[in-house]
Structure 1
Amino acid sequence: MSGYSWGQFALGLPVTGAASLAVLLATFAVAVRKGVHRIVDAAWGFAFTAVALVSYGMSTGEGDPGRRLLVTALTCLWGLRLATHIVRRGRGHGEDPRYEALLAKAPGSRSLYALRMVYLLQAGLVWLVSLPVQAAMYVRADLGPLVWAGVLLWGVGFVFEAVGDRQLRRFKVDPANRGAVMDRGLWSWTRHPNYFGDFCVWWGLFLLVCDAPGAAAATVVSPLVMSFLLIRGSGKALLERHMSGRPGYSDYVARTSGFVPLPPRRPRT
């Protein structure tokens, strides 16, 4: 742990937390005005971008300049692509059924319930999941094999996420596919190429801090939390419950890997 700027890293934590909170509170204000809370999904990517930029500024003169620039660029590229995709996807649509169902349970004010259960929670999750990004800014070691392994894993994830989203968007805009299950391209190898992509992105970013073993041990909780969210939480598990009754979905499940990309299975006879 010698040589790592633990004090400066700790000083940056409340500032990055404030940055994440500011993005989510601003989004909350816009959502209340519009009466649609689905826009919070786009704020997820913008908040990670804000945290990375604040961390970069706070770490000036502390960590290796190349590592700082690299982790900032990778995080911002991922976050801005995701946010732009979600904004485009939601344009012209009403409330997301997930948030409609959640807000139907509000014991009082729907807005205050949304603030507590969605916006503040997501602000905290952004801060927690981004800890490896923040910690990597203070690693003084030169760029080594672990960094390039992380960049490669990040690249695999980014391609899966971006290509999977593009394939699904093109599938949905074709009226002939209304009500059908997307089972082409990457979606024939995994039922969730976008979530698998996120998984790789965040484990890749975690590798960028692993040249400082103490910092890696302190922040490994972050990719573990993201993995849980993607597989067991609000990602794969929630979406599959929503899709379970759609015609043809059970056959799709039977022949397609649930998460890790694998060749499609032959249908049983």
Structure 2
Amino acid sequence: MLWTLFYIDLAIMFLAWLFATFNGRAGIVDVAWSACISVNILLCAWFFDSAPESLRIFLAVLSSAWFVRLSWHLARRYLSESEEDTRYANMRRAMGRFQHIGFLLFFIFQTGLAILFSYPMYALLNTDASMWQAWLPMTMIVAAVIMLIAFVGEVLADQQLYRFKQRLENRGRTMDQGLWAYSRHPNYFFEWLHWFAYPIIGLAAGLYVLWIYPILMFLFLYYITGIPFSEQQALKHRGENYRDYQRRTSMFIPWKPKTKS
């Protein structure tokens, strides 16, 4: 089944690469990545009929909703921007005349990441009903609360930032209102929080390996793809305005902001 999912995701990514090749904007890869995961979840929930039905419905609704919403948000951001995302513009310049094959390999790599981050849902749904303890409903309730908090938090953070950027008078200013007053990256924090839901559910079947996913997501967000690049770009474009924000505001975990000096 994992290979089947890989080939489906590869087809989605290939179509996204063709789209990016013709319009010169590779940011569509982010939309395709989250769409791949939502497709993977729905297919697993449909075909793995040996898993508890309650769990199949739970993940098909709550987990896929997370990634569908993320795809929609990324697509909206992609369509609202006239220029290519700085990350991919830098990659395009670095690859030069090899950019088309370079981006093809990058999109294929993202297919692998989509499978990697689909594995928790795959593992849960591929576990036979006889393997689950009677207290599975309890872990699902805890997971549902985590997912709900993460969903509301991320939607609120994304909407606050989107509305802030839409106002012309905010050009060159740093968003430091709402949830962004308590964390410089509340969207990343709630993204990380979401990934605790799967290992908590997995406790009822001894799937302790899933605890690696909150750690993995933290490493990706905090050290690799998320915060470092965002901070670098913010300092480049907003300078001292953003440095002041850094001094006052927690980087990741929401916390009471410091008083302006």
Superposition TM-score, scaled by structure 1 size: 0.88
For residues 74-93 of structure 1, the C-alpha deviation after alignment (integer angstroms, 9 at most, x for no partner) is 22111111111111112152
User: Which one of 90, 100, 107 corresponds to residue 89 of structure 2?
Assistant: 100
Question: Does 176-185 or 123-132 show the bigger shift?
Answer: 123-132
Aligned to 1:180, what secondary structure does the other structure show? coil
Asked if structure 2 preserves the Cα contact closer than 8 Å seen for 1:150 and 1:207, the reply is: yes
Q: Percent identity?
A: 28
1:164 aligns with 2:149: no
Q: Which amino acid aligns with 1:13?
A: L
User: Which one of 31, 52, 55 corresponds to residue 42 of structure 1?
Assistant: 31
Number of residue pairs matched by the alignment: 253
Offset, 1:107: 6.0
Aligned to 1:248, what secondary structure does the other structure show? helix
Alignment match, 1:126: 114
Alignment match, 2:233: 242
Q: Distance in 2 between matches of 1:222 and 1:119?
A: 22
Alignment match, 2:20: 31
Alignment match, 1:21: 10
Q: Could you list the runs of 5+ residues in structure 2 that have no partner in the other structure?
A: none
1:251 aligns with 2:244: yes
Q: Distance in 2 between matches of 1:76 and 1:206?
A: 17
Q: Distance in 2 between matches of 1:36 and 1:211?
A: 44
Asked if structure 2 preserves the Cα contact closer than 8 Å seen for 1:71 and 1:208, the reply is: no
Quote the RMSD (CA, aligned, Å).
1.6
Asked if structure 2 preserves the Cα contact closer than 8 Å seen for 1:20 and 1:123, the reply is: yes
For residues 152-186 of structure 1, the C-alpha deviation after alignment (integer angstroms, 9 at most, x for no partner) is 11111111111000000111111111110000000
Asked if structure 2 preserves the Cα contact closer than 8 Å seen for 1:130 and 1:222, the reply is: no
Question: Does 185-194 or 236-245 show the bigger shift?
Answer: 236-245
Alignment match, 2:217: 226
For residues 183-233 of structure 1, the C-alpha deviation after alignment (integer angstroms, 9 at most, x for no partner) is 0000001111111111011222332222111x332x333332222111111
User: Which one of 138, 143, 147 corresponds to residue 145 of structure 1?
Assistant: 138
Asked if structure 2 preserves the Cα contact closer than 8 Å seen for 1:55 and 1:137, the reply is: yes
Asked if structure 2 preserves the Cα contact closer than 8 Å seen for 1:191 and 1:259, the reply is: yes
Map 1:149-228 onto structure 2 (within 5 A): 149-213=142-206, 215-217=207-209, 219-228=210-219
User: Which one of 251, 255, 259 corresponds to residue 262 of structure 1?
Assistant: 255
Q: Distance in 2 between matches of 1:26 and 1:223?
A: 30
Q: Distance in 1 between matches of 2:126 and 2:60?
A: 12
Asked if structure 1 preserves the Cα contact closer than 8 Å seen for 2:196 and 2:211, the reply is: no
For residues 43-95 of structure 1, the C-alpha deviation after alignment (integer angstroms, 9 at most, x for no partner) is 122111111012112302x1101111111212211111111111111215221
Asked if structure 2 preserves the Cα contact closer than 8 Å seen for 1:147 and 1:208, the reply is: yes
Offset, 1:111: 1.0
